[in-house]
Structure 1
Amino acid sequence: MSESTSDGQVVLDLSREETWVAHAALVCGIDRAVEDGEEPAAERELLLALESDEPIDRDALPTLRDAVLSYLDDAPERDVVTGRAVLGTVDAVLA
């Protein structure tokens, strides 16, 4: 179960596979933003937090959700169910 901290941070309870899909989604989002000439600071911060297993700012969860949704549009079939599980976890925290 994901946990919220008193300072607005969230520890997402993601499996290894779910973390991998979230990572892939953020990398794809960063690549798209850079190609469009944008600076994907929020996505980079989320990626660093995931890679270092640190809590995530609750306010950044919509960015993660958007990245996963976008990724699922063209994701390999093997990532679709796992990506939906990530969305479920994020949505549960945001509810």
Structure 2
Amino acid sequence: MSSSPQTETYEVTLSRDEQWVAHHVLSNRLDEALDGDETPPEWVLESIDAVEADGETRLTGSQADRLYTALVSYVDREDAPERDVSHGAAVLETLEGVREP
């Protein structure tokens, strides 16, 4: 029996700069929830832990998909710093291989 895409984890290799951009996007999602007096989504908290972990970043397919969507929104913003766009695009390329179908 295989694991479901929700629980199967994937190792994602990110450079330090790529980790920073992913962390920044996730932290913004966390702050938005807290500012709105909402409970932050569990996937955000789990993804922050995964990005901050020593060694490989391990994400579920669902987390990778949601991070991908959040990163697309961030790198498409006109006010996103150019270096963030570059590193964010690299993360998007990496996540392509682990996103849910």
TM (norm. structure 1) is: 0.79
Kindly report which structure 2 residues correspond to 1:5-24, keeping only aligned pairs within 5 A, or say none: 8-24=8-24
Gaps of 5+ in 1: 1-6
Count of residues in correspondence between the two structures: 89
Aligned twin of 1:76:
81
Specify every segment of 5 or more residues in structure 2 that has no aligned partner in the other structure, as ranges: 1-6
**Identical-pair percentage:** 38
TM-score by length of 2: 0.75
RMSD: 1.8
Are 1:43 and 2:52 an aligned pair?
A: no
By how many angstroms is 1:55 displaced?
1.7
Structure 2: distance between partners of 1:34 and 1:24 = 15
Return structure 1 stretches of 4+ with deviation > 4 angstroms.
Answer: none
User: Rg: which structure is higher?
Assistant: 2
Higher helix share: 1
Q: CA deviation at 1:60?
A: 1.3
Aligned mates of 1:69, 1:8 — CA distance in 2: 23
